[in-house]
Structure 1
Amino acid sequence: MTTIPTVDVHAHVLLPEVEALVAGLPGLAEARALDARRNGPAALAVNGPMVRERVPRMTDPRLRLAAMDAQGVDVQLVSPSPSHYHYWADEDTAEKVYRLANEATAAHCSAAPDRLRGLGLVPLQHPGRAVRALDHALEQGLAGVEISSHAPGRDLSDPDYEPFWSRARETGAVVFLHPFGCTLDERLDRWYLSNSVGQPVENAVALSHLIFSGVLDRHPGLKLIAAHGGGYLPTHIGRADHAWTTRSDAGAGCAHPPSSYLRRLYFDSLVHDPHVLRELVRVAGADRVLLGSDFPFDMGTEDPVGALRAARLPDTDFHAVRGGNASALLFTE
C-alpha cells in the first residue's frame, strides 16, 4: 500500500492573467464591494498579507513542487483560486474568463504533468455555456472543473444545469464543489465567520440541493468532490433523513433517504478535527473520502497526511484516503 501515491485533491493556483482580463470591467467593483461586506474589514486586513505571502507558491510550479515534497504529497489536483469565478460577468466576458483560466491552469500543470492535474472553470451564471466550458477544460487535458455552491439567483438544483450534469457524467469529468462567498452576508462579517461558518454552510446547502432535487438520482456516477468535508451536512445528515421520512414536501424530490447519497459523492478530508474525519469516513465510506489540504491558504493544513493520520483510521482506510481513492478517480478510465 505504501506504493500508492499520496494525492491532494484540494490545492489552488492563482491566475494573474484572469485578473488582468477583468480589471476595470463593469461589475467587478460591485462584486468586490459585496465580498468586502461579507468578510468585514478585519478579515480583509488579514487576507491581503496572507495571500501576498502565498502568491509565489500558487504561481511558480517549482515552488509548488518543493512544498509538495516537504508535505510528502506526490500529486496535486490543482484548481483555480475561487476568487477567479467572477460570476458577475456577462456572457462574452465569462467565456473569455473560463477559456483563459482553463488554458492557464493547464499550462501551470504542464510543468510537471506526472505530479499536477488541473481543473478548469464553468460560468455558472450562464448555464447555457456550462457544457461548452466543461468540454473546453477537457480539451486542455484538465480532469474536470471547479464550481461554487451557487451563482447569483441560481442554486445547483436549477433545471438549467441538467445538460451540464449530463455532460459531466458522460465524460467522467471531475466536478469540484468549492464555495466562494456565503449568502448570509453581513451576519458573518466579524471574526472570519464568513469562512469558518460560511463555507460549511454553503457546502451543506449546495449538497442538499443536489440530493433533495434528485440531481444525483438522474445522474448516477457523477464524480463530484465536495470541499471541506461537505461542510455541516455529513455530521447532521440524520436531520435530513428525518425530514425526508416524516414530511411529504421534504421527500418529494429524491428517491432515497438523503444519507444514502453521501456514498455517491466524494469528500475531501479537510475538516480540521480527527473525530469529525472519522465520522465522515463512517457515513460516506472510506472509499469516498480523499486527501485535501487547501494548499496553500491559511485555512488549510500544512500537513495533510499528518492530519489524516491523527484520525487513527484502519490502515486500509488510511491508504485509501491518502491516495488510493483519488488515484482511481483521476487515473482510471
Structure 2
Amino acid sequence: MSVPTVDVHAHVLLPRIEEAVAGAPGHAEHRELDARRNGPASSRVSGEMIGERIDRLTRVEARLADMDAAGVDVQIVSPSPSHYHYWAAPGLARTVYRMANEATAAHCARVPGRLYGLGLVPLQHPDLAVEGLDHALSLGLKGVEISSHAPGRELSDPELEPLWARAAESGAVVFLHPFGCTLDERLDRFYLSNIVGQPVENAVALSHLIFSGVLDRHPGLKIVAAHGGGYLPTYLGRADHGWRVRPEARACAEPPSAYLRRIWFDSLVYEPAALRALIATVGASQVVLGSDHPFDMGVDDPLDRLRAALPPGDELDAVRGGNAVALFDLKESP
C-alpha cells in the first residue's frame, strides 16, 4: 500500500473557547501580557493575518482545498496555541480542554481518514492533566498539544510525572508547540516574539525534558517538537559538554544528544540545508512533515520543500509520511 503524505503540524481555530474565557478572572491580565510580549505592531499584523485566514482556520472545505493544493493526504490537526489559557482556574481549565477536545474531534470527524486530531491538557493543573489526556483519547484524538511551560511550571516539574506516565502507557503523542516567550519585552519588536522566541522556547522545553531524566523514566513517551526542535539540535556540543563537566547537569543517564534519537521533530525549518542538517543530527526516522498550516509563519508547500532537501528514496518517503503513519498509528492510505 502507498504511504500517504502526512502533515503533523496544522491548526484549527475554535472561537467558542475565546467566548467561554472572556471576562473570567485572569483573562485581562493574560491579554495584557500577550500584548506586552508581542508589541503593538505585531499584535496588529497578527490580528489582520488571522482575519484574512479565518476560513482556512475554521472551515473543513478550505482546509481540504489547501491540502490538495499542497499534495498533503492527511493532516494532524491541533488547536491554535492561543487556546492554551494556562492562566485559567481549575473549573474554567476543565471547560477549556473539554471544549477544545470535543471541537477538534468534531472538526476531524468531518473527513475520516484525512484529518486526525490532538487535544489540549491544562499544564497549570497537573491533577487535571491526565484527566484531560484521557478525555482526548476517549474522543479518538491521537494525543495532546502542550506549550513549552505553564506559569511557574517547567516540563521537568515532578508534578507532571503522571502525565508523562499516562502518555507513554497509552501511546498518546505529545506535540510540543510553544506559545509565548518568557523573554517578554526584549522581543516585542520586529516579531521577534515568534521569530526568535518560539525556537528558544522549544530548546528550553526539550532541555528540561532531557536533563531532568523524564525520557529515562518514560522511554515510551512520544514527543513531537514543532519548528524542528528550535535551536537545540543546532548546538548539541554545548549540551553534551555541560553534561560531562557539570555534576548538576547529570540527572539524565546519557549525553543529551542521545535523546534526540527518541524525540520526533517536524520539518518546519524552511531551508533545504537546515532540514538536511536536522536529519543528519536526529536521523531520518525522527523527522515528520510539518507546515504550521495556515499561519503566516508556516509554509504552503511543505512537500516541495522536503523534495528540495532530499532525493527520491526511502528517507524522503519516511519523512513525507511513513514516520507519521507509525508514530500516530494511522492507516497506510487515506
Do the structures match in fold with TM over 0.5? yes
Runs ≥4 residues deviating over 4 A: none
Structure 2 residue runs of 5 or longer lacking an equivalent are none
Q: Which moved more, 1:45-54 or 1:312-321?
A: 312-321
Aligned ranges 1:221-240 → 2 under 5 Å: 221-240=220-239
Out of 259, 262, 267, which is 1:261 matched to? Answer: 259
Structure 1 residue runs of 5 or longer lacking an equivalent are none
Aligned ranges 1:241-256 → 2 under 5 Å: 241-251=240-250, 253-256=251-254
Deviation at 1:319, TM superposition (A): 0.9
State the partner residue of 2:145: 146
Describe the superposition over 1:295-331 as per-residue Cα deviations: whole angstroms up to 9, x where unpaired: 0000000100011112135621111000010011112
Describe the superposition over 1:204-240 as per-residue Cα deviations: whole angstroms up to 9, x where unpaired: 0000000000000000021110000000000111110
Describe the superposition over 1:103-148 as per-residue Cα deviations: whole angstroms up to 9, x where unpaired: 0000000100110000000000001100000000000110000000
Matched, 1:292 2:290: yes
Name the CA shift for 1:313/1:198 in 2 (closer, same or farther; >3 Å): farther
Q: Which moved more, 1:307-316 or 1:205-214?
A: 307-316
CA contact (8 A) 2:147 2:176 kept: yes
CA contact (8 A) 2:169 2:220 kept: no
Matched, 1:72 2:51: no
Report the secondary structure of 2:247's partner residue. Answer: coil
State the partner residue of 1:203: 202
Q: Distance in 2 between matches of 1:4 and 1:228?
A: 23
Q: Distance in 2 between matches of 1:234 and 1:157?
A: 19
State the partner residue of 2:176: 177
Report the secondary structure of 1:26's partner residue. Answer: coil
CA contact (8 A) 1:235 1:276 kept: no
| TM-score for the superposition, normalised by structure 2 | 0.97
Amino acid at match of 1:28: H
Amino acid at match of 1:44: S
State the partner residue of 2:329: 331
Q: Distance in 1 between matches of 2:310 and 2:98?
A: 42
Deviation at 1:332, TM superposition (A): 5.6
CA contact (8 A) 1:11 1:292 kept: yes
Matched, 1:48 2:47: yes
Aligned ranges 1:159-170 → 2 under 5 Å: 159-170=158-169
Q: Distance in 2 between matches of 1:269 and 1:52?
A: 26
Describe the superposition over 1:280-304 as per-residue Cα deviations: whole angstroms up to 9, x where unpaired: 1111110000000000000000100
Describe the superposition over 1:182-214 as per-residue Cα deviations: whole angstroms up to 9, x where unpaired: 000000001110001000000000000000000
Q: Distance in 1 between matches of 2:55 and 2:180?
A: 24
| TM-score for the superposition, normalised by structure 1 | 0.98
Amino acid at match of 1:284: V
Q: Distance in 2 between matches of 1:239 and 1:309?
A: 31
Q: Distance in 2 between matches of 1:257 and 1:42?
A: 42
CA contact (8 A) 2:7 2:290 kept: yes
Q: Distance in 2 between matches of 1:52 and 1:139?
A: 33
Q: Which moved more, 1:241-250 or 1:141-150?
A: 241-250
State the partner residue of 1:134: 133
Identity percentage of aligned residues: 70
User: How many residue pairs were aligned?
Assistant: 331
CA contact (8 A) 1:228 1:267 kept: yes
Q: Distance in 2 between matches of 1:12 and 1:332?
A: 19
CA contact (8 A) 2:109 2:115 kept: yes
CA contact (8 A) 1:6 1:74 kept: yes
State the partner residue of 1:215: 214
Q: Distance in 2 between matches of 1:154 and 1:21?
A: 24
Q: Distance in 1 between matches of 2:273 and 2:203?
A: 19
